[in-house]
Structure 1
Amino acid sequence: MEYTQLGRTGLKVSRLVLGTMNFGPQTDEADSHTIMDTALAAGVNFFDTANVYGFDANKGRTEEIIGTWFAKGDGRRDKTVLATKVNGYMAEGEPWPNHDKLSAVNIRRAVEASLKRLGTDYIDIYQFHHVDRATPWEEIWQAIDVLVQQGKILYAGSSNFAGWHIAQANEAAARRGSLGLVSEQCLYNLIERRAEMEVIPAAESYGLGVIPWSPLHGGLLGGAVRKQREGGGARSTSGRSAEALESEQQRASIQAYEDLCDKYDMAPGDVGLAWLLTRPGVTSPIVGPRTQEQLDSALRAIELKLSEEFLTALDEIFPGPGPSPEAFAW
């Protein structure tokens, strides 16, 4: 496994992040524990979750599964860089004021609840799952600074922020003498490259590590056309993926991508991850395996080296938007 610094921090993290969103809804506790065992044994030390994972009536279940895995001991908690998130509504029943978003009262409540579910006394990276336009950054950073002083969290990160939100957050932190955001978790892959315009440049400028989610764009970059053609991709070509393949232009691009991968004898899913590892500013893409086999496939991407010729060919199939402001003007 390769490791790198998380943004401007002294924290070293693996070049892959184990995403846990499927733990509970798709993968039972025993299999989730096996996946975490395998990931840690392979050197993956960066685990990502969120307080709402488990979803619907089971919100919080994913954190509980991680907590029972930590409880097995063997120093696994100390070996793991643990990231979770706050923003979504967590209370039972009908929506109730102050049970979501980023007010100081909800941040305090949410941290305590996550710590209890996770069975730990600290969270390495506490991430804002989305912006909260109603809460001033001065209030958010005051709450975070207290939690850092108490030792309950070590760093703060963001997820799904625009470039100007990153700037706004870190300028407010600087005025307080606070560390500010150290990471941004954003949608970024070969198909969805809009983050290159402003989000990634902002992250690089402010020293944030970029943690892309959905690196295979819901399975579209994992051999979706081939799986659909062979009749074995019901899961991979459902929902958003199936709709995307109905677009003639999108299908043609993905077919060209799969043909290119075949030409170089590479698996499409491996290439999608390996490409992200070449991108400026990217710390580690998030992989969210449902099964042990999917984790094994993701681990192979670390060793895959893409030539300049191959990278150029990928840009021809999936051209990026170009930098801002040129992407908007000239």
Structure 2
Amino acid sequence: KCGLTNEGVLPSENYPDLVFRELNISLQTLKTSYIDVYMLHRDNLNMTVAEILEPLNEAIAKGYILSLGASNWTYPRVDEANEYAYKNNMKGFAVVSNNISLAVQSEPFYPGLISTDRAGEQWHMEKQIPLIPWSSQARGFFTGRWTPQMPANDGFTKRMIEVYCTDDNFKRLSRAKELGEKKGYTAVEVALAWLLHKPFPIVPIVGPHTQEELASCVKATTLSLTEAECKWLNLDE
């Protein structure tokens, strides 16, 4: 990734230098001569798409990057960037990394973060551009440990309650548990499997802390869901 800062936007100051400086750090850390997908962590609406894409395409021309990704970009802005790239014989964004999970965020977890809504899903269906969603398991919401009544003793717990502890999300959790019990899976595994049944290319980012959690993520890939079950889980019927 490029542009990992606490500012909430892609840094504009000395941006071309930033691209190559952070790219070199990534290449050295990964011990490789090129990166398959170089992802911008944020957008900056004060910069034109030309300003953003041109240094990245310079790195592509040098063989350091194979493809580009956009994280926390709106879909109209991705379209703008890709249209500019097409018209100028450059590479645009080949993947998008925004949030999506069975539990819907009531608001961005942190300022500037973008979630894929239904219009965004339609965008991915039409263009078949892959989505690499972060917080794909809703930061552990489907473990059932989060409730509105629990004490918010730290900032993270406070945000979990504010962002995820909604009536609809608890209905989704209940349905994931119910379906999982019938099929021999946990609610966490059902929620991840639901994502894997999207009608477009999707590679959810997971964050297992233990071997057991990793095994659970792998198990989720073996769960088959019908279209009706996917709709039911998401309260669509």
Looking at structure 2, the residues matched to 124 and 88 of structure 1 have their Cα atoms a distance apart, in angstroms, of 18
Equivalent position of 1:232 in the other structure: none
In the alignment, structure 1 residue 165 sits paired with structure 2 residue 77: yes
**Does the CA-based 8 Å contact 1:244-1:250 persist in structure 2?**
no
Aligned length: 219
Partner of residue 27, structure 1 = none
Counterpart in the other structure of 1:89: 5
Residue 261 of structure 1 pairs with residue 173 of structure 2: no
Q: How does 1:173-212 map to 2 (within 5 A)?
A: 173-192=85-104, 195-212=116-133
Give the stretch that moved more between structures: 135-144 or 149-158: 135-144
What does residue range 24-63 of structure 1 map to in structure 2 within 5 Å? none
Greater relative CO, 1 or 2 (CA 8 Å, sep 6+) = 1
Matched, 1:276 2:195: yes
Deviations 1:199-218 (A, max 9, x none): 23334444421112111111
1:68-89 deviation digits (Å, cap 9, x = unpaired): xxxxxxxxxxxxxxxxx11123
Residue of structure 1 in register with 2:11 after alignment:
100
Please say which of residues 253-262 and 177-186 is displaced more in the overlay: 253-262
Whole-angstrom distance in 2 between the partners of 1:164 and 1:157: 15
Please tell me whether residue 119 in structure 1 is matched to residue 31 in structure 2. yes
The amino acid across from 1:201 in the alignment is Q
* CA shift for structure 1 position 238: 4.2
Deviation at 1:268, TM superposition (A): 0.9
Output the CA distance in 2 between the equivalents of 1:152 and 1:311.
40
Q: Is the 8 A contact 2:102 2:172 kept in 1?
A: no
Distance 1:133 1:246 in 2: 31
Q: Tell whether the 8 Å contact from 1:244 to 1:251 is kept in structure 2 after alignment.
A: no
In the alignment, is the contact (CA less than 8 A) between 1:125 and 1:156 conserved in 2?
yes
Q: Does 2:144 correspond to 1:224?
A: yes
TM-superposed deviation, 1:143 = 1.0
Task: Call closer, same or farther: CA 1:246–1:284 in 2, change over 3 Å.
Answer: closer
- 2-structure distance, mates of 1:113, 1:136: 25
Partner residue of 2:108? none
Q: TM-score, normalised by structure 1?
A: 0.58
CA–CA distance in structure 1, aligned partners of residues 50 and 164 of structure 2:
45
Change (3 A) 1:245 1:126: closer
Check conservation: 1:160, 1:185, Cα contact below 8 A. yes
- Offset from partner CA, 1:17-69 (integer Å, 9 cap, x none): xxxxxxxxxxxxxxxxxxxxxxxxxxxxxxxxxxxxxxxxxxxxxxxxxxxxx
- Partner of 1:219, secondary structure, is helix
1:130 to 39, 42, 46: 42
Contact 2:103-2:172 at 8 Å conserved across structures: no
Secondary structure of 1:212's partner?
coil
- Per the TM alignment, residue 245 of structure 1 is displaced from its structure 2 partner at its CA by 7.2
Larger % of strand: which? 1
Residue 60 of structure 2: SS of its match in structure 1?
Answer: helix
Q: Distance in 1 between matches of 2:36 and 2:168?
A: 42
Could you tell me whether the CA contact under 8 Å between 1:219 and 1:241 is conserved in 2? no
Unmatched segments (≥5 aa) in structure 2? 106-114, 148-155
* Higher mean displacement: 178-187 or 307-316: 307-316
- Determine the C-alpha separation between the residues in 2 that align with 1:135 and 1:245: 32
Query: SS of the residue aligned with 1:303?
Result: coil
Distance 1:148 1:254 in 2: 43
2:65 counterpart of 1:153 = yes
> What TM-score, normalized by structure 2, do the two folds share?
0.79
State the Cα distance separating 1:253 from its structure 2 match. 4.3
The residue matched to 2:131 in structure 1 has which SS?
strand
Compared CA separation, residues 277 and 250, structure 1 to 2 (3 A): closer
The whole-number CA distance in structure 1 between the counterparts of 2:52 and 2:165 is 43
